[in-house]
Amino acid sequence: MTATPTDDVAPASASHAPRQGLWPLLAVHAGLFAGGAVALSLDPPAQGWGVLAVVAAYVVALLLTTRATGHAQGQTDLHALAGFLVLVSLFQVLPDWVLADVVGTLAFPDRGGPRFDDVIPLAMMLMWVAPLFIALSLSGGSAARAALLAGLVFAGAEVLAPTLGLWEPVGDTTRLLGVAVYVVPAEVALGWAAATAFALVRHRPLAVRAGAALAVSTFYLGALVLAHFVIDVADWTITT
């Protein structure tokens, strides 16, 4: 059979589609880093309000961009992923709140802007979207790769956060490069849990996805407390 012009063109255009859709996403994340740099350069209380505005704008831009590129290229999974991670991030304020207000191993300096019980910034409800989206979108649907990438992304964030004044470890915890060691395995577990939950519920109703997002945050809180106990609390001695 003689190939038609359509046969020659279709594969080439399909091969270019993912690459074309990558640039808007790169622009969104470049905007996040640029906006974050500007916000963090401000003095309190403008700094806290600036961070909140930047992460809110990032989330809106990410949802709009993944929706637009998804419809253009048939890649709706990234839009579904972004939406699910927004739900996860909203619940992630709870584990942070427990660490700061109950366990006593985390502190959020007051840089301005709204805070829950004067303990944790409202901006933290949206701040988890970017690192989780980066890790899970690059994982190719593999929960194991998502776990590894989440560990790398969050480890970098934990190193930078105290310098940037976003959060800092406190209390009696084992530290490496200024990072509380117990959070790293918990954040690896978070990447795995988020990827696994998304794969199970991405086509389910909003209520089911919200329940799964809460389950991810609850799992993460358990992983944090267990890792803190194993690394920082337990003496591992046997008494008689």
Enumerate the domain spans of the chain: 18-233
Of 148, 127, 152, which Cα lies nearest the Cα of 139? 148
> What is the spatial distance between Cα 42 and Cα 177, in angstroms, rounded to a whole number?
26
> What is the spatial distance between Cα 185 and Cα 85, in angstroms, rounded to a whole number?
20
The three-class DSSP label of residue 172 is coil
Task: Please give the model's pTM, rounded to 2 decimal places.
Answer: 0.88
What are the residue ranges in the chain where pLDDT is below 50?
A: 1-17, 72-75
* pLDDT 10s digits, 106-138: 999 999 999 999 999 999 999 999 999 999 999
* pLDDT 10s digits, 167-184: 999 999 999 999 999 999
> What is the spatial distance between Cα 201 and Cα 84, in angstroms, rounded to a whole number?
9
